[in-house]
Chains A and B, each alone.
Chain A
């Protein structure tokens, strides 16, 4: 399909170009899946960045690789492998003792250990299956242009469920993230929220990584929220802005990939990174 994509000609007439892109079924599905993934990642990432749990989030994204490899080895659907590995890892991270559920210090070393072990397992599973390097590439960098309609529906259901659960706990989670001791004194179940958030983050990472690959989940999870929080310290502005940035970056990245010989993951990450740099420079000059 990359052959098709790279043969597309950019006419600079936006209407024609969009029509040309969407005449391909795989592009329509890429946009659907990419949009859902961007929204879910932007919302979960917003809390993750605020809670200083980006390293935990990175680890949850990366364990998608051994998860998917294990599923291939066991001959079951990749989705199950992703989900099981991400949720189990989330529970393992949540079990690391800490006062507030916010990660620093020795916690990061433990999470790093988990991450290295997970990557080693992924490598093992993959070589046991006798897989090719192409397989690894698609697990790590995703197959945005190869998403099926069934995958889009599953992504929508899993993503929507995770979002509803997060919405219910959003305000106490924000309180616990900023001010764990005071929140606990007010009766907020800070420990339960910390565990629940990590598990939901794991589910979201699993859902998204099937589309974007294990490594690029992290780009969507951290770059749009970090950019949005740079732009505004108001939650009611920066959370919607995070979603908007994630979606726009994904749309532009997919289009750029369609009309160029370079992969979508490269474009999405590069555009997101450029937005972050602009936001940093803009907030500096203010």
Chain B
């Protein structure tokens, strides 16, 4: 096993014939908590999809857990960007978590006729991970009837249930209220710290996760920067990245405000890509 969990070497990504970003160089070590930041449409979700092998690498190389993207997906927990489950989705939260464990196996669960040991281990694993994300109280409700924060906790449980080495979270804080944003951010940070899981988390707003981050990747204008938040989220480096004056302000409570950040040209791309 190599020392780094994830490395980008002159990497680039396209959507169709459109270049999304190029020349991304980054090494992410095992156990690091890294955020991918940038305005809408710069290709943050694209970055995650390249890492998980759902989109091809268009230039350079990307190495994930010592192999090409897609090779070690068993060791990756992936939480895609989503709206949410609609209210008529009549499946329990715990069933959604279970699919993260064995949903890719053919056939049907044998229930009482199956291997008893394996079933007990699986059940213990699922209970454990639901406990970890603090979802025990509502895991047996239909997932469509849960709040956004409850659904997000169970989806993180689903991503964690195979004890992955790398966790890819695409906008996990989207559509959550502020207390839930803080709670989920703290949960992800504690998982990363206590279990040594590498986390790559896409976010619009750095503030809820800022206290926990090791480093950030800032995407913009077809290129990217990596470094500690203090290095990257500064007026100088962002002005350089966007080639236009940008000001980073620090509020009295430590929150960062990026002023004058241009929207990417392909504003709608990030949301509608498939």
Contacts and interface: CB of A to CB of B under 8 A. Distances in A.
Interface in B59-102: 73-74, 76, 78-80, 82, 85, 89-92, 95-96, 99-100, 102
B10 interface: no
B104 interface: yes
B106 A233 contact: no
B106 A171 contact: yes
Question: Chain A CB within 10 Å — which of B76, B107, B108, B159 has the most?
Answer: B108
A233 B53 CA distance: 32
Contact of B54 (A170, A172, A185): A185
A175 interface: yes
A181 interface: yes
Interface in A220-248: 229-230, 232-236, 238
B104 A178 contact: no
Interface in A232-268: 232-236, 238
B158 interface: yes
A182 B158 contact: yes
A174 B104 CA distance: 10
B106 A172 contact: yes
Nearest to B81: A181
Interface string B185-208: 000000000000000000000000
Contact of B73 (A169, A170, A187): A187
A179 B99 contact: yes
Interface in A81-132: 99
A175 B91 CA distance: 11
A187 B104 contact: yes
B107 A178 contact: no
Given A184-B54, A186-B73, A236-B111, A168 B99 contact: no
A271 interface: no
Contacts of A234: 92, 95
Q: Which range contains the number of A residues in contact with the other chain?
A: 20 to 34
A170 B142 CA distance: 20
A169 B107 CA distance: 6
Contacts of B53: 185
Contacts of A186: 73-74, 103-104
Contacts of B76: 185
Given A234-B92, A235-B91, A181 B103 contact: no
B105 interface: yes
B107 A168 contact: yes
A185 B92 contact: no
B52 interface: yes
Interface in A38-68: 50
A183 B104 contact: yes
Contacts of A169: 106
A238 B91 CA distance: 10
A77 interface: no
A38 B78 CA distance: 39
Contacts of A232: 90
Given A171-B105, A179-B96, 9 more contacts: A50-B90, A168-B106, A168-B107, A170-B108, A178-B99, A182-B79, A185-B52, A185-B53, A185-B78
CB-CB nearest 5 A-B residue pairs = A175-B103, A99-B274, A181-B80, A233-B142, A229-B90
Interface of B: 52-54, 73-74, 76, 78-80, 82, 85, 89-92, 95-96, 99-100, 102-109, 111, 141-143, 158-159, 274
